[in-house]
Structure 1
Amino acid sequence: MRQVIEEYGTVDSVKLIVDRDTKKSKGFAFVEMPDSTEAGQVIKELNGAEYEGRQMVVKEALPRK
């Protein structure tokens, strides 16, 4: 995942979310990027793209209410 995102800019961190019991990916991740312009480009280019046989949903994470 990091390598795909890094094609668009600098990545500070990638946190893949995994199931505690099975240790398998839950199918989503959080990526932090220092540059909002680059992050916007990632969202624009990769939302809807296929990654490892699955369609990606790429959007800005918002705080819970």
Structure 2
Amino acid sequence: MTIYIGNLSFQAEQEHLFDLFSEYGEVKNCSLPLDRETGRKRGFAFVEMVNDEDEQKAIDDLQDVEWMGRMIRVSKATPRERSGGPRGGGYRG
């Protein structure tokens, strides 16, 4: 399971998130997506933890908590749906 953290401060860095979520267990991965055009942070992040129970505890405890001056939203991340349908092959004749 991956955790989505929204409404993040634009000052938040990966190490800040590691520190915050490490209070709940071992963090496996953390990413702060950047805007493709500007290279700036987009105000959200994803954190993956080793243990599902630790992830759920973090979600429960950190939902709607003020962190770095912003009320963060923490929830289970939902996978993005891929755009478009299946891609067909070329001419086979």
Q: Which residue of structure 2 lines up, in the alignment, with residue 50 of structure 1?
A: 66
1:2-53 CA distance string (max 9 Å, x none): 1111111110000101112222211111111120110000001111111221
Unaligned runs of 5+ in 1: none
Distance in 2 separating the partners of 1:52 and 1:22: 23
Gaps of 5+ in 2: 1-16, 82-93
CA RMSD of aligned residues (A): 1.2
Larger radius of gyration between Structure 1 and Structure 2: 2
Q: Secondary structure at the match of 2:45?
A: strand
Identity %: 37
Q: 2:13 is matched with which residue? A: none
Name the TM-score, length of structure 1 as normaliser: 0.88
1:6 to 22, 27, 30: 22
Q: Which has the higher contact order (CA 8 A, sep 6+)?
A: 2
The runs of at least 4 consecutive aligned structure 1 residues that moved more than 3 Å come to: none
* Equivalenced residues, count: 65
TM (norm. structure 2) is 0.64
